[in-house]
A and B are shown apart, each in its own frame.
Chain A
């Protein structure tokens, strides 16, 4: 298990933003697991050429494309 990265105050702020009402036990659980998210997010960052964009593409509905 990773060391919890968020302090109690940070975790409270994160949870307040989500709008969820959680028990202190649940908050402690998420603080522990939040470490995984932080670690994974850090690992996938890095220098990328702008040629690596776009992360997203979208297509027009067939009817639009046919016009």
Chain B
């Protein structure tokens, strides 16, 4: 017997399709869990029980009439609260937008609704996806389900926490410097930052338009693939949206990974920013798994980590400040301290330095393209350590913390975080799998093959077990 909240989307979909599992039953189970547990986790800013149950009844009626739409039909999800939802407040976890009620959905919100998903609620985030773990906002920060004293990472903190604790089956995060992959890493789930332009950002509160990405966060890479089958659509209303052929994400998971060439960016985590021994051990064990699966493992060299960090910081701070300048000047009291500090740094970047950062970005993109001539995927950690205690992250400039994730915002590459095991303290370890632009399907295939070859997807945070809500 599997508890409903332990089902993946891929496991629930055939039950929903076969009418042996009701979307109403499933949604009610999730709402019950949210009510029971979210007071401790703070994964949700706003729960939508009435709307969710109404959508579940509608989905049930559609399926019963033979109108099954696909694997997301009847699946309960959450959205980071920077995704516009028509008629439902979209706050950015900020007092500034406390009463902001969008008149239209984000493109991704609409696509997921059209696919038949059930929106359970809006998820916690760092303020405007930049502010850090803050205690001076209208809502408390999310906590890590593996240990409530620890940080779930951000900025898609609620999305990571909700998936790990079984408070949503799928969720949407955004990623400007690692905000999907960081929470995925520290919460022990799968999170994909798609190729830049593959998923529309229309209707998502911007942070840094040339580095922003929206993407799925789920328990498994396979579930991320199911969501990408819906999300990857060209959107003429997003100037950054790419008009490219859409792969069959789920179908590609059936292909073998044997023969793939896996490049390891060893200098990132051994010399540029030495990672914790447990993270490194997790990577080495993962490489052994890939060799066992028939992959070739090769060490590769990129520019030093700091080169990417400089470019990412100068661009993101400039673009964020350009967006927030007027409101920050007019109503600074409506921003939390961390968001104000971080956004304000963009005021000190000169225009020529921003342009030079863009030029350097071009060089780094060309460099990684050359490396990808010799490999099919890259591996490095997502985060250099496990989740620290809440409040231990720095407060002013994230530049002082080495980041393996920002590298791939700079290059726009698809990058997936997966769980590589658990530390002695029981916190998730992590790994990042990176691919060529628009080979998100290959990245998900590598992640899914790894998850299926290991047992880390069998372990959930124990304290959230609730065996009363179970399905045959």
B400 in contact with A52 (CB, 8 Å): no
A52 in contact with B310 (CB, 8 Å): no
Measured between beta carbons, the chain A residues less than 8 angstroms from B307 are 43-44
Interface 1/0 per residue, A13-52 and B, CB below 8 Å: 0110011100000000110111011001101110010001
Residues of chain B whose beta carbon lies under 8 Å from any beta carbon of chain A:
236, 239, 306-307, 309-311, 313-314, 317, 328-329, 332, 341, 344-345, 347-350, 353, 355-360, 362-363, 396-397, 399-400
Closest to A37 in B: B348
The answer, yes or no, to whether A1 is at the interface (CB within 8 Å) is: yes
B349 in contact with A37 (CB, 8 Å): yes
Closest to B344 in A: A30
Q: Besides A20-B344, A33-B396, A33-B397, 11 other CB < 8 A contacts? A: A20-B329, A36-B397, A36-B399, A37-B348, A40-B310, A41-B314, A41-B350, A48-B359, A55-B358, A59-B239, A62-B236
Measured between beta carbons, the chain A residues less than 8 angstroms from B363 are 48, 52
B348 in contact with A40 (CB, 8 Å): no
Q: When chains A and B are docked, how far (Å) is the Cα of A13 from the Cα of B125?
A: 34
A41 in contact with B347 (CB, 8 Å): no
Measured between beta carbons, the chain B residues less than 8 angstroms from A29 are 341, 396
Q: When chains A and B are docked, how far (Å) is the Cα of A30 from the Cα of B309?
A: 19
Which of B328, B348, B358 has the largest count of A CB atoms less than 10 A from its CB? B348
The answer, yes or no, to whether A56 is at the interface (CB within 8 Å) is: yes
Residues of chain A whose beta carbon lies under 8 Å from any beta carbon of chain B:
1, 14-15, 18-20, 29-30, 32-34, 36-37, 40-41, 43-45, 48, 52-53, 55-56, 59, 62
CB-contact partner of A40 in B362, B396, B399, under 8 A = B399
Nearest CB in chain B: distance from A66 CB, A: 13
Measured between beta carbons, the chain A residues less than 8 angstroms from B310 are 40, 43-44
Q: When chains A and B are docked, how far (Å) is the Cα of A51 from the Cα of B422?
A: 48
Which of B317, B345, B347, B358 has the largest count of A CB atoms less than 10 A from its CB? B347
Nearest CB in chain B: distance from A10 CB, A: 11
Closest to A1 in B: B400
B348 in contact with A30 (CB, 8 Å): yes
CB-contact partner of A43 in B306, B329, B332, B348, under 8 A = B306
Nearest CB in chain A: distance from B135 CB, A: 18
Jot down 17 A-B pairs with beta carbons below 8 A, ordered by A. Answer: A14-B348, A15-B347, A29-B396, A33-B345, A36-B313, A36-B397, A36-B400, A37-B345, A43-B310, A44-B357, A44-B360, A48-B359, A48-B363, A52-B359, A55-B358, A55-B362, A56-B355
